[in-house]
Amino acid sequence: MVLIADSGSTKADWALLPENGENVYVNTRGFNPVVHPHDLLHNEVLKLSRDLLPNVNVREVHYYGAGCWDQRRKKVIVDCISNAWPGAKIEVMHDLLGAARATCGNDPGISCILGTGSNTCLYDGKEVIDNVTNLGFMLGDEGSGSHLGKAFLRAYFYRELDQELNSAFEAYTTVDRMTIINNVYESEMPNTYLAGFTRFMGAHQNHPLIQKIVFASFAEFLDRHVRKYRGHLELPVHFIGSIAFHFKDILLAALHERDLTAGRFVQKPIEALADYHAGK
């Protein structure tokens, strides 16, 4: 059987392609070898093989993952998966290639990831041919959940929320201000913690201040990344990830302002990747 994985920093989706019958889809915690301890993936893969997909003979694994941009980080993934399924052929690729294959298929385009983190690439229909450097949540990740979370928390602590929004947020958090700050700086996964505040933002995205924050973040993302690619005014700009999906209307407004052509919006690319590999 063939196993496909699409892993971001928060969630991972897996698709099992049997030789006969329907595909099986399961979910685990996400993993990024840049920011997460290695035993996190090891434990999730063991849980996957023992509990979610027990007694499955996996002969081939195609893993698309956040942070898998060099051989050292890819080896972390290979080692963990090979422990669960010894003898399986394992291919580890950057999640950008997964995004491109899921959204563009075999056609040229610009593919963007807007989830906990963000990234972009120019795709020629076969390979990723250009990528504006992703600096991660500390220096970059414009337009991402962690970027939005930071912007919202700044507005909250700098007393820029109106009384209604401030009261709603404090009822939502149920923790005091110092606890929030401590969680940001002491959390094992600060990018994921910051991105968690987008749930509140999504529930209040009709509020003018939330719209302003989100639009500014998306505008910065498009200006610093998408508009750097050759042909960006002619090619469709595709998006995957929960942030692009849930804040689609604001993102469309930012695209329209820059005369960019909106392509596909895919919340979870795993089904498209399963179809890609089944067809291949």
Residue 225: pLDDT band with limits 50, 70, 90: very high
Residues contacting residue 235 through CB under 8 Å, at least 6 positions apart: 108, 109, 110, 122, 229, 261
Mean per-residue pLDDT of the chain: 89
Average the pLDDT over 134-157 and give the result.
91
Distance CA 252, CA 3 (A): 34
**pLDDT given for residue 170 in this prediction:** 92
- Is residue 57 helix, strand or coil? coil
Q: Where are the domains of the chain?
A: 2-100+269-279, 106-266
Average the pLDDT over 107-119 and give the result.
93
| Overall residue count recorded for the chain in this entry | 280
- Is residue 278 helix, strand or coil? helix
Average the pLDDT over 50-78 and give the result.
84
pLDDT tens, position by position, 178-195: 898 998 898 878 888 899
Strand order in the sheet with 2-7: 24-29, 11-17, 2-7, 60-65, 89-94
Whether 2-100+269-279 and 106-266 share one fold: the answer is: yes
Predicted TM-score (pTM) of this structure: 0.81
- Is the pLDDT at 36 greater than 80? The verdict is no
Helices (H) and strands (E) in the chain, counts: 13, 10
Of residues 182, 154, 159, 141, the one with CA closest to residue 9: 141
Of residues 166, 234, 191, 183, the one with CA closest to residue 10: 191
What's the CATH number for 106-266? Answer: 3.30.420.40
Residue 47: pLDDT band with limits 50, 70, 90: confident
What's the CATH number for 2-100+269-279? Answer: 3.30.420.40
Strand order in the sheet with 128-130: 128-130, 118-123, 109-114, 236-240, 261-266
- Fill in the amino acid letter for 50: R
pLDDT tens, position by position, 233-270: 999 999 998 899 999 999 999 999 999 999 999 888 89
CA distances (Å), 145 to each of 8, 114, 129, 195, 218, in order?
12, 7, 26, 4, 11
Please give the helix or strand (H or E) that residue 73 lies within, else none.
helix 71-84
CA distances (Å), 141 to each of 102, 117, 119, 195, 219, in order?
21, 5, 7, 11, 13
